[in-house]
A and B are shown apart, each in its own frame.
Chain A
Amino acid sequence: MPTWVAACATEDIDVEDVIGFRHEDRDYAIYRTAEGDFFATDGHCTHERTLLCDGLVMGRVIECPKHNGRFDIPTGKAIRAPVLEDVQTFPTKVEDGTVFVFV
């Protein structure tokens, strides 16, 4: 059953940045955009499973560190080759300075 899981404190992520989060043997990427919104996606790029938390956040886009493929963070949509497959997204919420992910 999916449930809300505490991933990190809001201040653990810099503005316009991403960190990795591991839960039950699965990697997630947690994002904080320049506007202060929090998002979560699967932790791996859909191209060759590189960890997205080593990538670069630009606005609402994450660029994968391996071949510079890009995803739209809120929707997970693949927007630049070599990524062709969307990355899975997960709902997030912030409560008392903690970022929760629905996984």
Chain B
Amino acid sequence: MTAVMGRERLKYYSLTGEQGERAVSDGLAGGSDWFRSDIERKRMKELMRRSDFPAVRDTLLWFGLLVGFAAAGVALWRSWPAFICFAIYGVLYGTASDSRWHECGHGTAFKNPWLNDRVYAIASFMDMRDPTVWRWSHTRHHTDTLIVGRDREIAVMRPARLARLTANLFGLLEFPHNLWEMVVHASGHLMPDERTFVPAEEERKVFRTARVWCVIYALMVAACVVTHSVVPFLLIGGPRIYGVWLLEIYALTQHAGLGENVLDHRLNTRTLYMGRVNRFLYWNMNYHIEHHMFPMVPYHRLADLHEQVKHDMPEAYPSMWAAYKEIIPAVLRQLKDQTYYIRRELPPGAAPYRVPPDGRAVLEG
């Protein structure tokens, strides 16, 4: 069978197309057979143990910074320092909310489930991601990571949609798309791809949340009209445009240019080192192979988990810059050759890569 290449290949990524069914029949979906490093049970329990302290501390700091920079931005409005305040506020809102959404969605950030659920709800609103739909979407991402036709969260396809990726540095496509989804949900419908992974019994929650969010956005717009000011929009919703650029830069390092349809997170996921500020904003998701291999480990123990398993892992990239030096040429090469992917060396003595029986990196034909 002839492989489909070029932009026509993008249809493979649809969750309602035939590639998803093919992944199931080829034994690539369902996710029970992924490689995991061996860790002694006693140590694993230490790493999985939950604690409220790190997330309470980080959340108080996060909320404090949000309120502080928002208040300063409003107080200094119409002067140039307001620009700096809103630039920082935007990143705290548009970028940092994503990692909070993610960690609380896994239920690992706090020990206390009530705190997890509250912060999850707030971060989902800031992230413009319906908490129910995205819980199920992310569940699928963990079951079928980068399995084509199954994983909705593949950001960089082969070939990459470069214009779309660039536009989304400024939320230009995602912001209107998320608004549209909210309206569709509020009207009592799911998007077609969402029906493939959101259980029917969860639908009502989606519709209820969307209606509440629509009211909040309507109030924000009304506040802009009444005050003849754009400030309410800069505070609510707007950061999904002017504050997501850093989130996109973080998120593209997770899987871009790596293997598709492989049952080993070391082949499709990337771990890199970051400084303290980035790790605070990103809640340690730079240890991304480790997170995928052991989603039970809270963000504040991922550095320890990394030390525990690094003998089995390809060497971590020393910086974001080092990761992008590999990602950019690989993604550009994939524009012409969609069979290409980055396959990194494992250290001597590491458990060998787990590959599908026929060694393919992509499903074609």
Size band of the interface chain B makes with A: 20 to 34
Among candidates A50, A54, A63, residue contacting B107 with C-beta atoms closer than 8 Å = A63
B202 and A81 form a contact (CB under 8 A): yes
Among B111, B139, B295, residue most surrounded by chain A Cβ atoms (within 10 Å): B139
Interface residues of A in 72-92 (CB under 8 A from B): 80-82, 84
Residues of A in contact (CB 8 Å), total 19
A82 and B107 form a contact (CB under 8 A): no
Q: How far is the CA of A58 from the CA of B356 in the complex (A)?
A: 36
A68 and B135 form a contact (CB under 8 A): no
Q: Does A37 contact B (CB under 8 A)?
A: no
B45 and A82 form a contact (CB under 8 A): no
Q: Does B136 contact A (CB under 8 A)?
A: yes
A82 and B295 form a contact (CB under 8 A): no
Contacts of A48 in B (CB 8 A): 30-32, 143
Q: How far is the CA of A49 from the CA of B143 in the complex (A)?
A: 11
B296 and A82 form a contact (CB under 8 A): no
CB distance from A75 to the nearest CB of B (A): 17
A84 and B143 form a contact (CB under 8 A): no
- Knowing A17-B45, A55-B296, A81-B202, the reply to whether A68 touches B143 (Cβ < 8 A) is no
Contacts of B44 in A (CB 8 A): 54
CB distance from A68 to the nearest CB of B (A): 5
Q: Mark A53-77, 1 if CB is under 8 A from B, else 0.
A: 0111010000101111010000000
Q: How far is the CA of A55 from the CA of B45 in the complex (A)?
A: 9
- Knowing A56-B48, A66-B31, the reply to whether A80 touches B113 (Cβ < 8 A) is yes
A68 and B113 form a contact (CB under 8 A): no
A66 and B143 form a contact (CB under 8 A): yes
Q: Does B176 contact A (CB under 8 A)?
A: no
Contacts of A82 in B (CB 8 A): 135-136, 139
Q: How far is the CA of A55 from the CA of B107 in the complex (A)?
A: 13
- Knowing A56-B48, A80-B107, the reply to whether A63 touches B32 (Cβ < 8 A) is no
Binding site for A on B (CB under 8 A): 30-32, 42, 44-45, 48-50, 106-108, 111, 113, 132, 135-136, 139, 142-143, 199, 201-202, 294-296
- With A65-B296, A67-B139 already in contact, 11 other A-B pairs whose C-beta atoms are closer than 8 Å: A14-B42, A14-B45, A48-B30, A48-B32, A49-B32, A56-B50, A66-B31, A67-B106, A67-B143, A68-B295, A68-B296
